[in-house]
Structure 1
Amino acid sequence: MHDPILTALFLVFVGAALGATGALFARQSMLVGYILLGILFGPSVLGWVSSPDLIKEAAGIGLIFLLFLLGLNLHPQKLVQLFREVTLTTLLSSLIFAAFGFGVAAAFGFGTGESAVIGAATMFSSTIIGLKLLPATALHHQHIGGVVIGVLLLQDLLAIATLIGLQGLGTGEAGMGDLAALVLGPPAVIACAFLAERFLLRHVWHRFGQVQEYVFLTAVAWCLAVAELGSVVGLSHEIGAFIGGVAVANSPISRFIAESLRPLRDFFLVLYFFALGAGLELGMVEDVALPAAVLAGGTLLLKPWVFRLLLSRVREKGELATEVGVRLGQMSEFALFIAMVATTSGVIGARAASLIQVATVATFMVSSFVIGRSYPSPIAGTAALRRD
């Protein structure tokens, strides 16, 4: 019997292996290979994978595990210190990027409402690109990773507020209850996570921590449970998973958990980037090619410069500030969510949504290529820069 899901997985992973091989021979990021493969196999070209939405839903689990594993490497005291350092940088940079995106859209004839949504989509950087390409072995990069995580988490909160606002515009409701949940949700999830770790997980892991299969099973369950709790109170699954990771960061088996969940994370992230390429509608590319090129090119040039300037003002060294800026110099997967919600809510039309999609994918590809050629990463284009 023909199983479309099994066939899709066969195409994704056999193709991803071939695409990654070609990307590495060409000294490019493997992520570029996954996106190009998705475009090739997706509905717009060969049509071998005709329903990328199903893959994309499963692929979102990869981002959940990514944030959970990052939380495992951050102690609560360090996280508070990072938030103090990057809050002003995040807010100011978001305003600058939003103004840039609004200006580009308005210059190409989009209305005020659509320009505002395009500006909002330009504000954020990619959690996956920023963190997937960051090595964790060197102390220098652990500090860079902390700064990157702090900026991205604050951006995620802003993105959630933006999505709530767009949903409110579409339904005609103010959405104040959702905004209140956004304010009260994080403390509630944090309290629940730390209490459960203190009075439940700590004891069962102390007693059965030698059984590796049990630790793996309970770690996955814990990650997904706190992620779901975050979603229930109005946050994203990803922020919930991050809180779950931070809650168990002090556990003596946190390193084992991180190592055992890494292959699971990578499995779903391959699906994510494939689905990203497969979901791109090439038929709309020609219509938005010029504004998308300006928006993507301007974003790639502006974001590194702005982050360097702002981080230098909070006493980060120039070299570190530059590297953080380059690693955050793309648009975000949240831009795709914003485009989808705004389209569903009737706030923007298909052309504006296509502009956001094309510009986002373009920045993903160029940014991952630049990072892989310029800075250490697990999938760098040269052996000298390839670090895990």
Structure 2
Amino acid sequence: MEAFGEIAILIGVAAVVSGVMRLLRQPLIIGYILTGLLVGPFLFNVIHSQEILNLFSEIGISFLLFIVGLSLTPTVIRRFGRIALLTSIGQVFATLLVILVIALLLGFPPLTAIYLGIALAFSSTIIVLKLLSDKKDFESLYGKIAVGFLLVQDFIALFLLFFLPLASVEQENATIVSVRFIIGILLAVVIFFLASYSFKKLSSALSRSQEFLFLFSIAWGLGVAAVFKYLGLSPEAGALLAGVSLSTLPWHHEVAARLKPLRDFFIILFFIFLGSKLSITELPNLLVPALIFSAVVLLGKPLILMAIMGLEGYRKKTGFQIGLLAAQISEFSLILVALGVKLGHLDASVLSLTTLVGLLTIFGSTYLILYTEKLYPLLRTPLSIFERKKVRREGAHSSRYSCILFGYNRIGYDFLKTFLDAHRSFLVVDYDPEVIDELEKKKFPYVFGDASDIELLETLPIDKATTIISTIPDLETNLLILRHSRNRNRNALIMLVAHNINEALLLYREGADYVIMPHFLGGKYASLLMKRLNFKKGKDSEELKHEHLDYLRKRREAGHEHPVPEKLHLS
């Protein structure tokens, strides 16, 4: 059968298996790997054009890493810099050591044990971001820390992908290693120079045509990967570096969004290719080590992360949520091991073992992440060992406040100004480190924490407040605040935020006194302004304009941004 027909059958089988996975509510990535197993040489043996499938999977990896690189903006990591670095590096090294010892005890060669330790230490950016998106938890404290934590891991993976091909050169050719290393560094400098200076100057011209921007992005990502491969370096590192180089340009979100469907198609073929390489005959020999390594990933990685989060003074629930997010291996794990096989460092059975661990951990962690809220109450008491008596960063505050404000940024900024003008005592609850630093500088009372944590709410003086305001745009969190507050204080004025009518009506039914709907409220306020200006341009409209400009400049100086409707969420 010709290659065209094989690919058509492959996609058809993938669609059927994925449909079954959706009905069973399983991750689609497992369906893709199972498709590869079904069409591979050990079952129906449909695939004969291995070279074409391998080429497509390489293109898929390049697109995947290019898009991951586009999200590696320094500001994302800087925002939760300390905790992102500590959790990521601490967890990677601790897991590496545990896996290394276990692999050596199981009789694996030292180099294989090192590869397994490195590969299984990483967690999946793609899967975690997809599940955070499904749960709408990107704006939560644990969600934001997780993004920083995963992006630090992606940077570590970038260095590994860069140096691994150099390690394949024999010792007597040390000169070749040095030359390749220097070439790689010079190439990286040239790439970032082009992106930082040439592309920035041409930014408006590049983004003028959406089709040209799409084509340019593909050419840049695959082109840099091809140059790296031609020079004997890792094409995977080239693709990731190409994405990172464009991450500071204004249109990087748009590029990532437009490339996602193309990436998804080729990535499906990559996982099918991996599944086709999974040897059924070796499964009995691989099952025991796969189960042991999977147990370390599913249980060990969360425990390591909870310990680090606890030492840093975070609450046990935040540590628990972060820990479960990391309880699987990464797409980088499979890419690194596949690269090790290609370089001759590893036997092909190690890729089968890693793929099997991937199947087990992706399957298990998906359920752990989706049912975090149900698992936490059952484990709350034993998890107390991961929480210090004094939790992280609480500004000096008393036991009584007139107003409690959940969320300072954006809408909360105006409320705070009103409290100060009215000489009302207030307490701010927020989890953004930049906001906390600002409140600390201004000596305003605050509590650092996530409002979705019931244990945090129990520590707040809600029963003595006259006004409780939440500017958090999450229905579940607002319902929790509302119900908890009403149970402790039936007389407080409670104002919450909603972004659609059904949510607003639900909050009113639950006992809210007023629900702020920013878009509707903005429209109503604008219509009142129009009436005040008597529908004419004149002195009053100029004064209003300059007043608004001053207000916007102050908000920009404070680092406030209007939420972007659809930012890059890898899924």
Matched, 1:280 2:278: yes
Give distance in 2, aligned partners of 1:242 and 1:124: 16
Structure 2 partner of 1:154: 156
Measured after TM superposition, the shift of residue 76 of structure 1 is 3.2
Give distance in 1, aligned partners of 2:233 and 2:322: 26
Matched, 1:251 2:249: yes
TM-score normalised over the length of structure 1:
0.78
Structure 1 partner of 2:139: 139
Match of 1:290 among 288, 294, 302: 288
Determine which structure has the larger helix proportion and give its number: 1
Give distance in 2, aligned partners of 1:242 and 1:149: 12
Q: Secondary structure at the match of 1:45?
A: coil
Structure 2 partner of 1:306: 304
> Larger C-alpha radius of gyration, 1 or 2?
2
Structure 1 partner of 2:121: 123
Structure 1 partner of 2:192: 194
Measured after TM superposition, the shift of residue 281 of structure 1 is 0.5
**CA contact 1:178–1:234 (8 Å) conserved in 2:** no
Alignment of 1:372-387 (within 5 A): none
Structure 2 partner of 1:331: 329
Give distance in 2, aligned partners of 1:278 and 1:91: 33
- The number of residue pairs the alignment matches comes to 373
Give distance in 1, aligned partners of 2:61 and 2:370: 20
Give distance in 2, aligned partners of 1:350 and 1:296: 19
Instruction: Say which structure, 1 or 2, has more relative contact order (CA 8 Å, 6+ apart).
Output: 1
1:282-339: CA deviation from partner (whole Å, max 9, x where unpaired): 1000122222211222222111221232244455664444334333322345544565
1:214-259: CA deviation from partner (whole Å, max 9, x where unpaired): 1111111122233345556776434433333343334333332222
Structure 2 partner of 1:209: 207
Structure 2 partner of 1:380: none
Q: Tell me which moved more, 29-38 or 138-147.
A: 138-147
TM-score normalised over the length of structure 2:
0.56
Give distance in 1, aligned partners of 2:99 and 2:144: 31
Give distance in 2, aligned partners of 1:339 and 1:60: 14
> Where does the alignment leave 5 or more consecutive residues of structure 2 unmatched?
374-475, 477-568
**CA contact 1:133–1:371 (8 Å) conserved in 2:** yes
Change (3 A) 1:360 1:234: farther
Change (3 A) 1:32 1:87: same
Give distance in 1, aligned partners of 2:195 and 2:17: 41
Structure 1 partner of 2:217: 219
Alignment of 1:1-388 (within 5 A): 2-4=1-3, 6-52=4-50, 54-79=52-77, 85-110=83-108, 112=110, 114-131=112-129, 133-135=131-133, 138-140=138-140, 141-158=143-160, 161=163, 164-165=166-167, 167-168=168-169, 171-173=170-172, 178=177, 185=184, 188-189=187-188, 191-207=189-205, 209-229=207-227, 236-314=234-312, 318-336=316-334, 339=337, 354-368=352-366, 370-371=368-369
Give distance in 2, aligned partners of 1:277 and 1:75: 33
Change (3 A) 1:112 1:262: closer
Change (3 A) 1:151 1:57: same
Measured after TM superposition, the shift of residue 263 of structure 1 is 0.7
Give RMSD over aligned pairs: 3.8
Change (3 A) 1:155 1:102: same
**CA contact 1:108–1:291 (8 Å) conserved in 2:** yes
**CA contact 1:59–1:269 (8 Å) conserved in 2:** yes
Measured after TM superposition, the shift of residue 176 of structure 1 is 7.8
1:86-139: CA deviation from partner (whole Å, max 9, x where unpaired): 445444333322332233334334455554454444333345444555539743
**CA contact 1:101–1:115 (8 Å) conserved in 2:** yes
> What code does the residue aligned with 1:157 have?
F
> What code does the residue aligned with 1:49 have?
I
Q: Tell me which moved more, 74-83 or 197-206.
A: 74-83
Give distance in 2, aligned partners of 1:318 and 1:52: 48
> What code does the residue aligned with 2:154 have?
L
> Where does the alignment leave 5 or more consecutive residues of structure 1 unmatched?
376-383
**CA contact 1:76–1:246 (8 Å) conserved in 2:** no
Give distance in 2, aligned partners of 1:88 and 1:142: 15
Give distance in 1, aligned partners of 2:106 and 2:259: 45
Q: Secondary structure at the match of 1:292?
A: helix
1:50-80: CA deviation from partner (whole Å, max 9, x where unpaired): 4556424422333332333333344334446
> What code does the residue aligned with 1:154 have?
I
**CA contact 2:321–2:372 (8 Å) conserved in 1:** no
Give distance in 2, aligned partners of 1:348 and 1:222: 31
Change (3 A) 1:160 1:293: farther
Give distance in 2, aligned partners of 1:287 and 1:147: 34
Q: Tell me which moved more, 95-104 or 39-48.
A: 95-104
Q: Secondary structure at the match of 2:281?
A: helix
Give distance in 1, aligned partners of 2:84 and 2:175: 27
Measured after TM superposition, the shift of residue 279 of structure 1 is 1.1
Give distance in 1, aligned partners of 2:176 and 2:260: 37
Give distance in 2, aligned partners of 1:54 and 1:196: 32
